[in-house]
Amino acid sequence: MKILDLMEYPTPAAAQAAYVSSDATPIIHLQQTDKQADAVDWYSFYGADGTYEMVGEIFQPTADIVCPQIKVWFFKKESPTDNVFLTIEGDDGSDHPDGTPIATSNNIAGGDISTSGTEYTFTFSTPAHLANGTKYHYVLQRDGARDTTNYYKANISREVPPNTVNTRHNGSWSTKAARGVFKIYHSGNLQCYSENTIIQQGTYSLKVIAQQTGSLNDTLTRTVDPTLNLSNIDKIKLYVYASRMGSNFKIGFHDSGGTTTEYTINVLTADSWQLIEIDISGVANADKDVIDQIIITILNADADNTAYFDNMFTNEDIVKTYSETLTLSEPSMSKGMARNLSDLLSLSEDYSRVVALTKTFAETVTLSEPSFIRAMTRIWAEVITLTEVAQKAISIVIRDEDIGLLDIFSRIKKKFWHPKSVAPTSWSEPSPAAPSWMDGSQEEPEWQG
């Protein structure tokens, strides 16, 4: 079995570095650009008269978006040395922030902030998923203590209704007759992220968000390094979970020779994991022996779609063969031999797949006395099929066999050890003291005793 991709990307940045989007440039979704002069109007946060704390802005997306960044105009008063950051919060039911961050931005150092109104970009390490028509707030804050001398000022506009600015004074929010100056972005028409809740195996899956209309024919491309050799492989398997049913995307495997093998994925049930099996038995080895890219392409963008990919592997079987030769060099060895053959199979990863294990054992017993060389070969095979997720070491005892040699010695004795009509060349007539077995006239001893 070959692992193509387990989708174990722990951060959005790691996922996006692995699967590069052809259309991920952040796009402005909402904006308000009118601005009062710096000296005319502004709202401070954690400064000025000693009661001002935070400044926020209410907004409502006009579609489901994934917000990677927000740009806001503000500036500083005097020389604050702490940092400014921004949170996105829900609404408390009265058009004020509810105090619970949905996303928290990077910090911008006070020393890097201008004393005149400037547009600054706040980015989110995990983009915020914002729903169409839902009320949200962005909130400007500082991580230092309130300072009535060194503080920050948010630019505003009083020319454009409605009134959407909120300010907090001594713990209480109030709405002002103003608007902030901002740009709210969504992450482009097609982008992928790390997902740790909707997973099929391991800790993460790859989350893909395709925007309505704009994502049509967009791609996510992973460069495979080192390349994969799928020669003599018949099937590729992966798990898919999507919010839309139908044939809305395809997956392709590009060979360095120029051939791309593509398969359209048909989602039969929305919001449910589905095992996809891709038959590549008809693809020549020359067209799949150096796979250097895996490509996801959007085929239908009539509506927004969120899909998850996980656990991509092939169906190559594992075969183990064992053989052993045992030689008995003394004819006096007449006791049974207990043999115990065991095999320990340890699978260190959890994969949902069917693995066929074929184990073949061969054993040869040879009696090396020149006058009665006989060989006994014992061969057996056992096939073990694992159909569950393998999570722990599996200990398999294949055989605990007692090998008795009585039957062999009995046949050898009857054939070779009875007296002959002519003088034997390798032994003489028994003397009176000879054991009874030499003339073959006595009862056979109990060899196994």
Higher pLDDT, 84 or 343: 84
Per-residue pLDDT tens digits for 153-180: 999 998 766 779 999 998 999 999 899 9
pLDDT of amino acid 384: 60
* Element at 410 (helix H, strand E): helix 406-416
Q: Label residue 355 by pLDDT band (50, 70, 90).
A: very low
* DSSP per-residue letters across 198-224: S-SSSS-EEEEEE-TTTTTT-EEEEEE
Contact between residue 189 and residue 214 where contact means Cβ atoms under 8 Å apart: yes
Rounded distance between C-alpha atoms, residue 10 and residue 17, angstroms: 12
Higher pLDDT, 55 or 361: 55
Give Cβ neighbours of residue 174 (< 8 Å, ≥ 6 apart): 166, 167, 168
Higher pLDDT, 400 or 8: 8
Contact between residue 186 and residue 197 where contact means Cβ atoms under 8 Å apart: no
User: Over the chain, what is the mean pLDDT?
Assistant: 80
Task: Return the amino acid letter for 213.
Answer: T
* Element at 326 (helix H, strand E): strand 324-328
Name which of 31-35, 129-133, 399-403 the model is least confident about: 399-403
> Distance of CA 30 to CAs 52, 70, 213, Å?
27, 10, 18
Give me the mean pLDDT over the 64-92 stretch: 95
Q: Among 312, 320, 305, which Cα is nearest to 359's?
A: 320
Give me the mean pLDDT over the 62-89 stretch: 94
pLDDT of amino acid 64: 83
Q: Label residue 371 by pLDDT band (50, 70, 90).
A: very low
Please check the confidence at residue 423 and state whether its pLDDT lies above 80.
no
Q: Label residue 331 by pLDDT band (50, 70, 90).
A: low
**Structural domains of the chain, ranges and CATH numbers in brackets:** 3-24+189-314 (2.60.120.260), 27-186 (2.60.120), 318-438 (no CATH)
Contact between residue 13 and residue 20 where contact means Cβ atoms under 8 Å apart: no
Please check the confidence at residue 364 and state whether its pLDDT lies above 70.
no
Please check the confidence at residue 241 and state whether its pLDDT lies above 80.
yes
Q: For residue 407, count other CB atoms closer than 10 A to its CB.
A: 11
Give me the mean pLDDT over the 59-66 stretch: 90
Q: Label residue 231 by pLDDT band (50, 70, 90).
A: very high
Please check the confidence at residue 385 and state whether its pLDDT lies above 90.
no
Rounded distance between C-alpha atoms, residue 444 and residue 357, angstroms: 45
Q: For residue 99, count other CB atoms closer than 10 A to its CB.
A: 14
Rounded distance between C-alpha atoms, residue 446 and residue 334, angstroms: 10
> Distance of CA 115 to CAs 54, 76, 322, Å?
19, 5, 78
Contact between residue 357 and residue 345 where contact means Cβ atoms under 8 Å apart: yes
Please check the confidence at residue 121 and state whether its pLDDT lies above 90.
yes
pLDDT of amino acid 48: 76
Q: Label residue 1 by pLDDT band (50, 70, 90).
A: confident
